[in-house]
C-alpha cells in the first residue's frame, strides 16, 4: 500500500489550498481528484472576491495561500465594491478568465515537488481505533496516510435539477461521488442536505451589447502581496448591466408550477442570499425590475455569465424569459441553469482546527462543511491543510481569534453555531469589522503564516519593513500634532505639509488608522461594558433548563447542551427564542430571600460559590 503524509480528497478550491499548504510544509502529499483536467474549476461565477470574500482572499494570501495570486494571473476585469462606504467594507472583486484561473492554480500545484496528483474517486475512508489511516479508491487501490483532508464540495450524492429533469452529478460535466457519504456515516458523522443553483450560460455573440450599459474595469491592482503591480496585465474585458422587465416577470409567474423549488421536488435548503429569479419575483412583487450583470467568462471565451438570473426552471422557460430582457432579445443559451442538491457534514462535528471530533487525523473543508463560495472553501482548505500538516509534524495547531480575521469568524461560526443554509461570509458577522480590513490583512496575519511555515522569511521581512514605514508616519503625525487635522473629513495624508512620502496603499493605511481611532476605541469600550454587565450576572451552576416551562423544545436542548454560565452567554447563543433570555434574566435576578423550597422549581437552588464542598449538595 502506498503511503503519504497527508492525503487530500478533491482538488476544488479548498483542496488546492489544503494540498499546497501541506506541500509547502515539506510533507508528502497525495491529492486524489475525480478529473485532473477539472482541478480548480470555478463551478459558478468566474469571479474571485466581493464583499467579505475579498477580505478572505487577502487574509488567505497573507497566511501564504494561493487564491489571490491565481486571480491576479487570470484577472480580466476588476471593481472595488463599497468604495465610498468605508475602508473596512471596501472589497475587491476580480473577474477571471475561467480557464486561465484553473491553469494558474494547476501550475502552482505542479510546482510543488512533494505533491502528487492522482486521478480517481475516493470511495471510503480507512480508520483504526478512532483515527484515520488512509483512503480506498473506487478502483480498489488503497493509500495510507497520517492525516486525510476531505474537500469534496458539492459532489456527495449529488443530484442536478433542470426543471423536472434530474440527473446525477456534482457539477455539469462531472459525475457525483457515491461511496464517500456512507463511509463518513460509518465513521459516526451526521450528514445533511443542501442545494445551490447556477444561472444559464449565454452565447456572447448573441447579445446586443449596444443596448446594455457598459461596466468597464477599474485599473488593475494586485490582490496578492506576491504580485508586483507593474507586471499586472491591463483589463481585457468589459461587462455590462441590463434589467428584467414586466414581461420577464410575467413569463416567470406563469411558469412557477414548473419550478422544482415551488413544486417541492428539491428538499435541500438553498441559501437566502442567492435566491433564484423566480423566487425574487414572487417575494418582491413590488420590484418592477431586477438587475443583471453580464460577465464574459474570458477575453476570448464565447460564454457570458449572467449574474442575477439563477433559476431551475425548465430549459424552454429559461429561454423564453431571457428573451424578454433588454439586449437579450435574440440570446442563445449555451448551457441552461440548474440546481444541485448534495450532502454536507454539519460543521459542529469539527474542532476549531477543522479536524473531526470523532475521528483523529480526519479534516473536512470547503462546501462539504455546508459553506458556499470559492473564497470560503479556500480559506477552510488552507487552515485544514495547514493544521493537518502541523499535526503530522507534531507541531501545535493554528487557530486564529475572531478579532484577527474574518476567516477566523467563518471557522468559529461554523464549528460553534453550525449552519442552517449554505453559509456565506458577511462582514457583519464580525463584531470587529472596523479593524478587519482588506488593507491590513498583511499585518494581521503574515506573522502567523511565517510562524506556521507557509510564508518565506524574505516575504515576512518585507511586511515588517512596510509596517515600519506606516509606524514611522504615525509617529511623525503625532509629533507634528497633525492627527486631529487628518481626522477631519476629506483631509488626506498628502494634504499635510511635510508629509512622509509613502506608496498609495501605505498612505491609505495611515489615514484609516488615524481616522478610525476614535470609533474603534468607542466600539471596544462599548463591547467591554456590555460583556461586563451581562457576563457578571451568573446563572445557577446546576440550572435545569429541561424543567423550565414556556421554553421551546429547541431552546431547552440548546441551553442544556451548551450550558451557558452567564446572562451574557445566553445572549450570544443563536437560535434561541427571545423568551429564553428573558427567563435567564428574570431567573438570575429574582429575589432568593424566601420560598426556596418552591422558588427552586425552575432549577435547583443556586449555590454560593464556596459551598460546593458542602456534603448536602
Partner 1 sequence: MSSTIVAIATGPATGAVGIVRLSGPAAVDAVAAITRGLPSPPTPRFAHRVTVVAADGAALDDGLCLVFPAPRSLTGETVVELQLHGSPRLLALVQARLLEHPTVRLADPGEFTRRAWVNGKVDLTRAQAVAALVEARSERAVRAAAAALGGATASRLGGLERALRALHAEVEAALEFPQDVEDHELTVAPRLAALRADAEALATAAGAGALLSREPAVVLYGPVNAGKSTLFNALLGEERALVDPSPGTTRDVLEARVEWQGLGLQLKDTAGLRDGAQALEARGIARGRAALDEAALAVCVVPAGAARAPWEAEVLAERRLDVASKSDLHAEGPGLRVHQHDGKGLEALRRAIVARLAPTADLGVLLSDRQRASLEQLRAHLGAAAEAERLSTLEVVAGELALASAALAELTGTGAGRDVLDEVFARFCIGK
Instruction: By CB under 6 A, name the binding residues for ligand FAD.
Output: 9-15, 32-34, 38, 43-44, 121-122, 151-155, 171, 177, 180, 196-198, 274, 340, 366-368, 372-374, 377
- The site partner of 272 among partner 1, ligand FAD, none (C-beta below 5 to 8 Å per kind) is partner 1
DSSP 187-251: TT---EEEEEEEPPEEEGGGS-GGGSEEEPPPPP--SSTTS-GGGPPPP---EEEEE--HHHHHH
CA-based nearest residue to 187, from 351, 357, 30, 420: 357
- Nearest distance from residue 603's CB to partner 1, in Å? 13
- Nearest distance from residue 310's CB to ligand FAD, in Å? 6
- Nearest distance from residue 198's CB to ligand FAD, in Å? 4
Could you write out the three-class secondary structure of 281-349? HHHCCCCCCCEEEEEECCCCCCEEEEECCCCCCCHHHHHHHHCCCCCCCCCCEEECCEEEEEEECCHHH
- The site partner of 581 among partner 1, ligand FAD, none (C-beta below 5 to 8 Å per kind) is partner 1
For partner 1, the closer of residues 110 and 522 by Cβ is 522
- Nearest distance from residue 78's CB to ligand FAD, in Å? 18
Binding mask 78-107 for partner 1 (x = CB under 8 A): ---xx-xxxxxx------------------
Query: Given candidates 1, 110, 250, 530, which one binds partner 1 under the rule CB under 8 A?
Result: 530
- Nearest distance from residue 36's CB to ligand FAD, in Å? 9
Interaction between residue 40 and partner 1 (CB under 8 A):
no
Q: Are 516 and 571 in contact (CB under 8 A)?
A: no
- Nearest distance from residue 266's CB to partner 1, in Å? 17
For ligand FAD, the closer of residues 260 and 366 by Cβ is 366
Interaction between residue 257 and partner 1 (CB under 8 A):
no
- The site partner of 33 among ligand FAD, partner 1, none (C-beta below 5 to 8 Å per kind) is ligand FAD
Interaction between residue 45 and partner 1 (CB under 8 A):
yes
Interaction between residue 433 and partner 1 (CB under 8 A):
yes
Which residues partner with 165 through β-bridges?
162
Residue 609 is given by DSSP the state G
- The site partner of 492 among partner 1, ligand FAD, none (C-beta below 5 to 8 Å per kind) is none
In 342-366, which positions are buried (b, 16+ CB within 10 angstroms) versus exposed (e)? bbbbbbbbbebbbbbeebebbbbbb
Report 542-561 residues binding partner 1 (CB under 8 A): 548-550
- The site partner of 89 among partner 1, ligand FAD, none (C-beta below 5 to 8 Å per kind) is partner 1
Stretch in the footprint of partner 1 (CB under 8 A) among 97-105, 252-260, 384-392, 428-436: 428-436
Q: Are 311 and 200 in contact (CB under 8 A)?
A: yes
Interaction between residue 246 and partner 1 (CB under 8 A):
no
DSSP 458-512: HHHHHHHHHHHHHHHHHHHHHHTT-HHHHHSTT--GGGSTT-----HHHHHHHHH
> Residue 463 has which C-alpha cell?
511586511
For ligand FAD, the closer of residues 385 and 418 by Cβ is 385
Which residues partner with 243 through β-bridges?
291
Distance of alpha carbon 340 from alpha carbon 338, whole angstroms: 7
- The site partner of 561 among ligand FAD, partner 1, none (C-beta below 5 to 8 Å per kind) is none
- The site partner of 290 among partner 1, ligand FAD, none (C-beta below 5 to 8 Å per kind) is partner 1
Would you report the helix, strand and coil content of the chain in percent, each value rounded to 5?
A: 40, 20, 40
Report 197-216 residues binding partner 1 (CB under 8 A): 199
- The site partner of 52 among partner 1, ligand FAD, none (C-beta below 5 to 8 Å per kind) is partner 1
User: Cα angle at 611 between 607 and 615, to 5 degrees?
Assistant: 110
- The site partner of 73 among partner 1, ligand FAD, none (C-beta below 5 to 8 Å per kind) is none
The helix (run of H) or strand (run of E) holding residue 165 is strand 165-168
Interaction between residue 585 and partner 1 (CB under 8 A):
yes
Q: Are 170 and 12 in contact (CB under 8 A)?
A: no
DSSP 391-430: HHTTPPP----TTT-HHHHHHHIIIII--SS-B---GGG-
Distance of alpha carbon 283 from alpha carbon 303, whole angstroms: 30
For the CA atoms of the chain, what is the radius of gyration?
26
Q: Are 342 and 161 in contact (CB under 8 A)?
A: no
Interaction between residue 524 and partner 1 (CB under 8 A):
no
Stretch in the footprint of partner 1 (CB under 8 A) among 140-148, 351-359, 448-456, 571-579: 571-579
Q: Are 381 and 388 in contact (CB under 8 A)?
A: no
For ligand FAD, the closer of residues 133 and 372 by Cβ is 372
- Nearest distance from residue 578's CB to partner 1, in Å? 4
Interaction between residue 310 and partner 1 (CB under 8 A):
yes
Query: Given candidates 165, 401, 582, 592, which one binds partner 1 under the rule CB under 8 A?
Result: 582
Distance of alpha carbon 607 from alpha carbon 340, whole angstroms: 53
For ligand FAD, the closer of residues 79 and 177 by Cβ is 177
Which residues partner with 269 through β-bridges?
194
Report 386-425 residues binding partner 1 (CB under 8 A): none
Report 270-309 residues binding partner 1 (CB under 8 A): 271-275, 280, 283-284, 287, 290-291, 293, 307-309
- Nearest distance from residue 16's CB to ligand FAD, in Å? 7
For partner 1, the closer of residues 126 and 282 by Cβ is 282
CA distances in angstroms from 274 to 219, 296, 309, 421, 495, listed in the order given: 29, 20, 10, 11, 43
For partner 1, the closer of residues 8 and 88 by Cβ is 88
Q: Are 344 and 194 in contact (CB under 8 A)?
A: yes
Interaction between residue 526 and partner 1 (CB under 8 A):
yes
- Nearest distance from residue 617's CB to ligand FAD, in Å? 50
Largest Cα–Cα distance of the chain, in whole Å?
85
Neighbour count for residue 223 (Cβ, 10 Å): 28
Report 364-383 residues binding partner 1 (CB under 8 A): none
Interaction between residue 317 and partner 1 (CB under 8 A):
no
Stretch in the footprint of partner 1 (CB under 8 A) among 45-53, 188-196, 245-253, 448-456: 45-53
Contact residues: partner 1, CB under 8 A:
45, 51-52, 81-82, 84-89, 199, 271-275, 280, 283-284, 287, 290-291, 293, 307-310, 426-429, 431, 433-434, 489, 515-516, 519, 522-523, 526-527, 529-530, 533-534, 548-550, 570-571, 573-583, 585-586, 594-595, 598-599, 601
Amino acid at each position: 500500500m502506498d503511503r503519504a503524509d497527508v492525503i487530500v480528497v478533491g482538488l476544488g478550491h479548498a483542496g488546492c489550498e489544503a494540498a499546497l499548504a501541506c506541500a509547502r510544509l515539506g510533507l508528502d502529499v497525495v491529492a486524489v481528484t475525480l478529473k485532473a483536467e477539472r482541478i480548480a474549476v470555478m463551478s459558478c461565477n468566474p469571479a474571485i472576491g466581493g464583499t467579505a470574500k475579498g477580505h478572505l482572499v487577502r487574509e488567505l494570501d497573507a497566511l501564504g495561500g494561493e487564491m489571490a495570486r491565481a486571480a491576479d494571473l487570470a484577472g480580466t476585469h476588476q471593481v472595488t465594491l463599497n468604495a465610498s462606504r468605508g475602508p473596512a467594507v471596501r472589497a475587491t472583486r476580480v473577474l477571471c478568465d475561467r480557464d486561465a484561473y484553473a491553469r494558474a492554480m494547476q501550475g502552482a500545484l505542479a510546482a510543488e515537488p512533494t505533491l502528487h496528483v492522482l486521478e480517481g474517486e475516493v470511495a471510503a475512508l480507512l480508520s483504526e481505533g478512532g483515527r484515520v489511516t488512509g483512503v480506498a479508491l473506487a478502483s480498489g487501490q488503497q493509500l495510507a496516510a497520517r492525516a486525510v483532508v476531505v474537500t469534496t464540495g458539492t459532489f456527495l450524492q449529488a443530484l442536478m435539477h433542470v426543471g423536472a429533469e434530474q440527473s446525477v452529478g456534482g457539477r455539469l460535466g462531472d459525475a457525483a461521488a457515491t461511496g464517500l457519504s456512507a463511509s463518513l456515516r460509518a465513521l459516526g458523522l451526521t450528514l445533511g442536505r443542501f442545494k445551490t443553483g447556477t444561472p444559464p450560460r449565454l452565447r456572447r455573440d448573441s447579445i446586443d451589447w449596444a443596448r446594455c450599459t457598459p461596466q468597464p474595469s477599474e485599473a488593475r491592482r494586485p490582490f496578492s502581496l506576491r504580485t508586483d503591480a507593474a507586471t499586472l496585465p491591463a483589463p481585457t474585458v468589459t461587462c455590462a448591466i441590463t434589467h428584467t422587465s414586466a414581461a420577464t416577470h410575467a413569463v416567470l409567474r406563469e411558469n412557477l408550477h414548473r419550478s422544482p423549488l415551488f413544486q417541492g421536488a428539491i428538499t435541500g435548503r438553498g441559501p437566502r442570499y442567492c435566491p433564484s429569479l423566480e423566487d425574487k419575483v414572487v417575494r418582491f412583487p413590488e420590484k418592477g425590475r431586477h438587475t443583471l450583470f453580464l460577465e464574459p467568462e474570458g477575453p476570448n471565451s464565447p460564454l457570458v455569465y449572467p449574474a442575477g438570473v439563477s433559476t431551475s426552471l425548465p430549459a424552454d422557460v429559461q429561454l423564453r424569459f431571457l428573451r424578454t430582457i433588454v439586449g437579450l432579445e435574440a440570446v442563445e443559451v449555451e448551457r441552461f441553469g440548474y440546481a444541485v442538491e448534495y450532502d454536507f457534514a454539519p460543521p459542529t462535528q469539527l474542532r476549531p482546527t477543522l479536524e473531526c471530533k470523532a475521528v483523529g487525523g480526519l479534516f473536512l473543508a470547503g462546501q462539504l462543511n455546508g459553506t458556499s463560495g470559492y473564497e470560503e472553501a479556500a480559506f477552510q482548505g488552507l487552515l485544514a491543510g495547514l493544521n493537518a500538516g502541523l499535526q503530522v509534524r507534531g507541531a501545535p495547531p493554528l487557530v486564529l481569534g475572531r478579532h484577527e480575521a474574518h476567516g477566523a469568524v467563518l471557522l468559529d461560526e461554523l464549528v460553534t453555531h453550525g449552519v442552517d443554509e449554505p453559509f456565506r461570509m458577511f462582514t457583519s458577522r464580525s463584531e470587529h469589522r472596523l479593524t478587519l480590513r482588506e488593507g491590513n490583512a498583511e499585518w494581521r496575519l503574515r506573522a502567523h503564516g511565517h510562524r506556521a511555515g507557509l510564508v518565506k522569511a524574505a516575504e515576512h521581512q518585507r511586511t515588517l519593513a512596510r509596517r515600519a514605514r506606516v509606524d514611522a508616519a504615525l509617529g511623525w503625525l503625532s509629533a507634528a500634532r497633525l492627527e486631529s487635522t487628518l481626522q477631519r473629513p476629506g483631509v488626506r495624508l498628502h494634504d499635510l505639509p511635510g508629509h512622509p512620502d509613502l506608496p498609495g496603499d501605505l498612505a491609505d493605511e495611515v489615514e484609516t488608522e488615524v481616522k478610525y481611532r476614535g470609533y474603534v476605541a468607542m466600539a471596544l469600550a462599548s463591547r467591554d461594558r456590555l460583556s461586563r454587565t451581562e457576563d457578571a450576572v451568573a446563572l445557577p451552576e446546576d440550572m435545569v433548563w429541561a424543567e423550565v416551562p414556556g421554553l421551546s423544545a429547541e431552546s431547552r436542548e440548546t441551553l442544556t447542551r451548551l450550558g451557558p454560565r452567564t446572562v451574557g452567554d445566553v445572549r450570544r447563543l443563536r437560535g434561541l427564542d427571545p423568551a429564553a433570555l428573558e427567563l435567564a434574566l428574570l431567573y438570575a435576578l429574582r429575589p432568593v430571600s424566601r420560598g426556596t423550597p418552591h422558588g427552586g422549581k425552575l432549577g435547583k437552588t443556586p449555590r454560593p460559590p464556596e459551598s460546593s464542598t458542602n456534603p448536602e449538595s
